[in-house]
Amino acid sequence: MRRKLVVGNWKMHGSRPANAELLAALMAGRPYAADVAVCVPHVFLSETAATLAGTDLRWGAQDVSEHEQGAYTGEVSAAMLAECGCRYAIVGHSERRAYHAESDAVVARKAQAALARGVTPIVCVGETLEQRDAGETEAVVKRQLSAVIHQLTHCASEIVVAYEPVWAIGTGRTATPEQAQAVHAVLRAQLQAATGRGQTMRILYGGSVKADNAATLFAQPDIDGGLIGGASLKAADFIAICRAAA
Ligand code: PEP
């Protein structure tokens, strides 16, 4: 019913030769049963677009400005991403929230800006270890998602949600399939209550997904694929994860 989606988040990694090698391997690994995308640094978008154009692989950005255009030095607008053929823009990644003080409101405006230009936002939500230990996981992710749903005009458009527990990102510590499923079920119920289309919207899991744990995570009923950081930089690992999403 919901086609799985696997998205690589390259973060601030890559170089022209390394990207060419990685994308060539990813193309050679086709076909995949899931939708597959890479979210690359802005400077590599045009080259990625040129490489992947005409294939069923998708690409996107790791952030987008909340502003249409103007005097915002260093920012990249949703219109610019659309011009580069971006299908997706990650918004609200925990690294943006932590290092760039992005609030729920800013994340919500970024999601709206992306949608306004036909770019699907991948909205990241997730609790810190302190919040989990304090029993606040559900309240935190619901608050983060609610800000975005509230901002979207009639919430008529498609969004992708990524549940990424902060304590699992880049730490090698993965949420158990049961822990992840429990939060995904909460998020889906919230999407369903707010939009009536929760059953059709994709919710990805992110946080130290590797080739050897992807299949069990993706087998959970409300996990529709993954947002993959470190393992998306190694072709063999990323391809194995894409193949685990059937
Ligand atoms: C991420 O950055 O979104 C992520 C999930 O990273 P990692 O897979 O390295 O934990």
Question: What's this model's pTM, rounded to 2 decimal places?
Answer: 0.97
226 C-alpha to ligand 1 centroid (Å): 9
- In angstroms, the CA 142 to CA 166 distance is 15
- Of the two residues 179 and 174, the one the predictor is more confident about is 179
Kindly give the number of the ligand 1 atom that is closest to the alpha carbon of 230: 9
Considering the chain, what percentage of its residues have pLDDT values greater than 90? Answer: 92
Check whether 11 is labelled as a binding-site residue: yes
- Looking at residue 154, what is its pLDDT? 55
Residue with the nearest Cα to atom 3 of ligand 1? 229
- Model confidence at 156, in pLDDT bands (50, 70, 90)? low
- Our mutation pick for probing the ligand 1 site, out of 9, 125, 173, counting the most ligand atoms within 8 A of Cβ, is 9
Mean pLDDT of 162-183: 95
- Looking at residue 1, what is its pLDDT? 82
CB 148 within 8 A of CB 184: no
Q: Where does ligand 1 bind, in terms of residues with CB under 6 Å?
A: 9, 164, 169-170, 206-209, 227-231
Residue 152 pLDDT > 90: no
Mean pLDDT of 180-192: 97
- Looking at residue 151, what is its pLDDT? 81
126 C-alpha to ligand 1 centroid (Å): 12
- In angstroms, the CA 190 to CA 199 distance is 11
- Looking at residue 153, what is its pLDDT? 63
Q: What is the set of active-site residues?
A: 93, 164
Residue 163 pLDDT > 80: yes
Check whether 15 is labelled as a binding-site residue: no
Check whether 9 is labelled as a binding-site residue: yes
pLDDT in tens, 30-66: 999 999 999 999 999 999 999 999 999 999 999 999 9
The CB density around residue 158, as the number of other CB atoms within 10 Å, is 12
Mean pLDDT of 178-187: 98
pLDDT in tens, 122-144: 999 999 999 999 999 999 999 99
Check whether 230 is labelled as a binding-site residue: yes
Mean pLDDT of 225-238: 98
- Looking at residue 47, what is its pLDDT? 98
Q: What ipTM did this prediction achieve?
A: 0.97
- Our mutation pick for probing the ligand 1 site, out of 12, 125, 163, 164, counting the most ligand atoms within 8 A of Cβ, is 164
- Model confidence at 162, in pLDDT bands (50, 70, 90)? very high
Residue with the nearest Cα to atom 8 of ligand 1? 229
